Amino acid sequence: MSDNSAIPEGETGFDSVLAFTIPGRNARGRIVRLGPLLDTVLSAHDYPAAIRNLLAEALVITALAGSLLKDQQAQLTIQAQTDGGIVELLVCDYLDGALRGYVRYDAERLAGLGANPSLYALFGKGFLAVTFDLVSTKQRYQGIVPVEGDSLAEAVESYFAQSEQVPTLIRIGARSTKGECVAGGILIQHLADGEEGRERLHVRLDHPEWEHVAVMGGSVRHEELVASDLSLEQIVWRLFHDEGEIRVEHEGTLTRGCRCDEAYYRSVLSRFPDTDLAEMREADGLISVDCAFCSKVFKIEI
């Protein structure tokens, strides 16, 4: 994995989120580039290239959207499911800067699709659920949209437009080679009066402020998003240097977020009746629990 040696000291490289606002356009954004963290998540399973790329895109989207959360312990979950599709389940979540993700798929049917299957070939008529769990208010917000278009990013853009009434642009880039995967992305939104509070402007996808920001942001190249020698600050500057003011803030380092442990699984199993536990036990008297996210197998005595 390439390091950040070519990035200016103090600027943002791998596995971190950079927040930015453009006050003069009532816009905010997030930009991220995943490197070593992405390799770690993908290494839990022997995913083929098409699934690696799909999960990489989903993890970048989850990092971008999850970093919009303000509350401690607030969680974002993105889950795509199909009825009879090749990808049976894709799930990623974000909790306080910790990311995890997993894909369950039909390997035999996938092998017949070729190297670069379309989103429709993978999902068919699937749907995407975006869920925000806010601990401070004990509220849950969920929106469900079809998995349509050329990418997961388009489906999430539809979620923000329909469920949040926020014009949103998302661009993703990924580069995968043997033993290394890098993926980056940018999310930009139009919010009345900037990042916080106050009444929003009327939501219009053709609002002049949004049209300008969307054109500028949409000009980002995939090569820029995955370039190991280009800081996230430099990308934002390239896109919006003509604006009167750009504010940036480092949102912190991202980590792998699998939260499995033996104590947790024991507490879950303790809720089952003895008859069910007896059926789960193997010849050695232990119950095997397999974590799909990290591919660890826990032997639980209960």
87 phi/psi in degrees, rounded to 5? -85, 110
C-alpha closest to that of 17 among 94, 104, 111: 94
Exposure string of 196-205, with b = 16+ CB inside 10 Å and e = fewer, is: eeeeeeeeee
CATH of 16-256, one of 3.30.43.10, 3.55.30.10, 3.30.300.350, 3.40.50.720: 3.55.30.10
pTM, two decimals, is: 0.88
Domain boundaries, the chain: 16-256, 262-300
Six-digit token string for 160: 């923000």
Cβ contact 234:12 at 8 Å: no
Each residue's pLDDT, cut to its tens digit, for the chain (302 residues) gives 445 557 777 788 899 999 999 999 999 999 999 999 999 999 999 999 999 999 999 999 999 999 999 888 899 999 998 888 899 999 999 999 999 999 999 999 999 888 789 999 999 989 999 999 988 788 888 999 999 889 999 999 999 988 888 899 999 999 877 668 899 999 999 986 444 444 444 556 667 888 999 999 999 999 999 998 999 999 999 999 999 999 999 988 999 988 777 887 888 888 888 888 888 888 888 888 887 888 888 888 87
Given the structure tokens 């995939």, which residue do they identify?
222
